Amino acid sequence: MNKLTITKQDTESGTLISPPHCDTKLICIDLDSYAVVVNGSEHPIYAFRSTTFSGVLNDLVGKIKDISLNFLLPFDHELETGFAELRIFKETGEVLIFDSSGQLGILTGLSHENSKKLRAAVPATEQWNLPEDEPYRRLLFSKDIIAELTEVMEQQTPKVVVDRIWADFKRTNHSLTFGQVACVNGEFAFFCITALRCGRFVIMTFEEGMASGSNTHS
């Protein structure tokens, strides 16, 4: 967990992960970057970047009930050198514990492996050696859609194909939240896309999109 220094303005365009009614809120402010905000506070009380936390968050099954952030301070009470512990309480009673040293603790059996969707998909930057820029750093492709695009990739450069797929999705004007699936009739493929909690998107085949379920758009 890498601590970040941010302002209240950085959180205003972020995505709320915790329920709106919670006094302590968890907000995704950028890819793998998160802030903890307390109602009434002028500034975020803690912000951090962690790919491990993104994987765990995406693998979280069920609804989040509440969020808490605890600080264990040294005797000199300097917050900068203190130890932070983020707790995510689920409606099922399970508790996910993640601390500033990057250690993860889980109560009542929630798997702490990386997200199943992330494990089953490959980053576009890795698959086709694309730059770590927007939107490529956010895009994951399932192995099935990669296979489906093989012939197209032989005729076009990967960047052209990925740019076209992203443009086809953006043209639908779907604003996806976690768990939703959009199906897009694109130039190079009829594909589905879903959003992960961490801010990434998984692009998959139509069949995979239908199997993944909820709130499917066409």
pLDDT of residue 7: 79
- The answer to whether 176 and 182 are in contact (CB under 8 A) is yes
**155-182 residue pLDDT tens:** 999 999 999 999 999 988 777 877 788 8
Give the distance, in angstroms, between the CA of residue 93 and the centroid of all CA atoms in the same chain.
23
- The answer to whether 141 and 127 are in contact (CB under 8 A) is yes
Overall average pLDDT of the 111-124 stretch: 58
pLDDT of residue 203: 93
- pTM across the whole model: 0.64
- The answer to whether 160 and 99 are in contact (CB under 8 A) is no
pLDDT of residue 174: 75
Give the C-alpha separation, 203 to 97, whole Å: 30
Give the distance, in angstroms, between the CA of residue 4 and the centroid of all CA atoms in the same chain.
17
98 vs 78, more confident: 98
Give the C-alpha separation, 10 to 20, whole Å: 18
User: In the predicted model, is pLDDT for residue 79 greater than 60?
Assistant: no
Place of tokens 């889980």: 106
Give the C-alpha separation, 191 to 24, whole Å: 37
Tokens of 31: 């890819």
